[in-house]
Amino acid sequence: MNRPAARPGHGWSMERRIVITGMGSVTPLGLTYEETWRNLLAGKSGIRPIAIFDASTFPTTFAAQVPDFDAARYVKDPASIEKAGRNVRFAMAAGRMALEDAGLLGGPYDPDRFGIYLGSGEGILDFFTLCESIAHGTGPDGKVSAVGFAELGLKRYDPMRELEQEPNMPANHLAAEYGLRGPTFSNLTACAASTQGIGEAADLIRTRRADLMLAGGTHSMIHPLGVTGFNLLTAISTEPKDEPWRASRPFDRDRQGFVLGEGSTIMVLEELEHARARGARIWAEVVGFGTSADAYRMTDIHPEGRGPVAAMRMALESAGIRPDQVDYISAHGTGTTENDKVETLSVKLLFGEHARKVPISSVKSTLGHLIAAAGATELMTCVLAIRDQVLPPTMNLDTPDPECDLDYVPNAARKAKVDVCMSNSFGFGGQNDALVVRRYMP
């Protein structure tokens, strides 16, 4: 492919190229990336009634949950994750599968040159203990005294379970499990976290701070306070309760919010020469990254897509790729009224004429919204789209919305020529990130 020189100014020189050499993933649609991919292409939904806790009286009663699996299989010492939350369990599975996929499990690698960057949310809050301790401490004035709270809390809380709530725990567990001592970060920019994490992880390799990075995300907000919080913001879909697989409808006129998902996708990012020297299989090259902020409002996206356009533009410029060279866009596509409208507008503003031609789809229609793990999981689908030359569909797109009039690959997977993909993530709070991956060409 004719690749124009990367625009100076974003520092993404060709001096050190970054490739993906391993992927591991646990999602509501599968316990391996192949299984998830197969189900995505088949249009199968992962959305079911919530089984993790009793949500029967909640406004939203369904979510896309990871099927039961034995996380102990993925760690050396099962006791090390005994008190860990779902996020850590997902990350240990995805991390190990990524290392295995990269041919790095058990080494050899230099642990000082191998880092971690995870978009990572909270562990699972001990909600019962919190609530019972709060009730114990609540006085007639409706205020909670710390004396009363602590009286029960000191007896009931499990110290390690409390520690496991902290959002850097997945990174900490992975570092301990594999002895990785490269640069290690965990970030939480809501729904954009793992796209941003992969972009910054690539920068850590480019700037010679590491040769290898485990990069991606892990999250579960399918817990009582997570569902509560999103219900209060009316951000998540509440209907139809009897056919929940129809509830996530990105770009459809009747969309009414996203559906919570959970899971983890972790990739091995590697400096190209390092990968070549060890004869690694190369999945794709990470060629561009763009990052911006709306600086507009707490939850609303800038109506003219100022932030999303800036992030996508920076991603293309850093890659030295023209808009008309993009074969597929993995949309943020949450299924909220605002997001899908503004994302569509942003793509039109940046891609111009080509916007009508470039297919764009949202796997959130069946996978749900994996929040901090969403971006990494969606990037994984881009990599697999390049491998198989097929695009995953946007399911439930039954009634077109006049404001969402692009080619969303509605309701069925589609064969296509796919060499260059862009993956978008726009976070609650205004962080916008976009990655560009390309078929690897020596």
Side-chain half-sphere of 378: how many Cα atoms within 13 Å?
42
Q: How far is the CB of 50 from another protein (least distance, A)?
A: 10
Q: Does 389 bind another protein (CB under 8 A)?
A: no
Residue 43 or 53 having the CB closest to another protein: 53
Q: Does 70 bind another protein (CB under 8 A)?
A: no
Comparing CA positions, the residue from 363, 368, 366 lying closest to residue 385 is 363
Comparing CA positions, the residue from 439, 419, 392 lying closest to residue 325 is 419
Q: Does 188 bind another protein (CB under 8 A)?
A: yes
Residue 32 or 168 having the CB closest to another protein: 168
Residue 168 or 389 having the CB closest to another protein: 168
- How far is C-alpha 137 from the chain's CA centre? 38
Catalytic residue among 136, 219, 223, 369: 369
Q: Which of residues 218-257 bind another protein (CB under 8 A)?
A: 224-225, 228-233
Catalytic residue among 173, 219, 274, 332: 332
Catalytic residue among 173, 191, 274, 302: 191
Spatial contact of 221 and 121, defined as CB atoms under 8 Å apart: yes
Q: How far is the CB of 133 from another protein (least distance, A)?
A: 8
Spatial contact of 132 and 152, defined as CB atoms under 8 Å apart: yes
Q: How far is the CB of 219 from another protein (least distance, A)?
A: 12
Q: Does 57 bind another protein (CB under 8 A)?
A: yes
Residue 154 or 441 having the CB closest to another protein: 154
Q: State the virtual CA torsion across 78, 82, 84, 90 in degrees, nearest 10.
A: 40
Bridge partner list, 212: 114, 270
Spatial contact of 389 and 415, defined as CB atoms under 8 Å apart: yes
> 3-class SS at 313?
helix
Q: Which of residues 1-20 bind another protein (CB under 8 A)?
A: 8-12
Gap between the Cα atoms of 164 and 162, Å rounded? 5
Lay out the site mask for another protein across 275-314 (x = CB under 8 A, - = otherwise): ----------------xxxxxxxxx------xx--x---x
Q: How far is the CB of 33 from another protein (least distance, A)?
A: 26
Residue 1 or 295 having the CB closest to another protein: 295
Does 223 qualify as catalytic in the annotation? no
Q: How far is the CB of 283 from another protein (least distance, A)?
A: 24
Gap between the Cα atoms of 389 and 2, Å rounded? 20
Residue 86 or 206 having the CB closest to another protein: 206
The residues, ordered by sequence, that sit 6+ positions from 107 with a Cβ below 8 Å of its Cβ are none
Q: How far is the CB of 277 from another protein (least distance, A)?
A: 23
Q: Which of residues 110-169 bind another protein (CB under 8 A)?
A: 111-112, 115-116, 120, 122, 128, 130-132, 134-135, 137-138, 142-147, 149-151, 153-154, 157, 159-160, 162-169
Q: How far is the CB of 209 from another protein (least distance, A)?
A: 7
Q: Tell me how many degrees the CA angle 37-63-403 measures, rounded to the nearest 5.
A: 75
Among 56, 242, 415, 417, binds another protein (CB under 8 A): 56
Q: Does 211 bind another protein (CB under 8 A)?
A: no
**Residues 205-217: b if buried by 16+ CB within 10 A, e if exposed:** bbeeebbbbbbbb
The residues, ordered by sequence, that sit 6+ positions from 388 with a Cβ below 8 Å of its Cβ are 37
Q: Which of residues 422-441 bind another protein (CB under 8 A)?
A: 427-431
Give DSSP secondary structure letters for 177-229.
Answer: HHT--S-EEEE--GGGHHHHHHHHHHHHHHTTS-SEEEEEEEEE--SHHHHHH
Cis geometry, peptide bond prior to residue 108 (ω within 30 degrees of 0): yes
Q: Which of residues 191-210 bind another protein (CB under 8 A)?
A: 196, 200, 203-204, 206-207, 209
Residue 155 or 387 having the CB closest to another protein: 155
Does 191 qualify as catalytic in the annotation? yes
Catalytic residues: 191, 332, 369
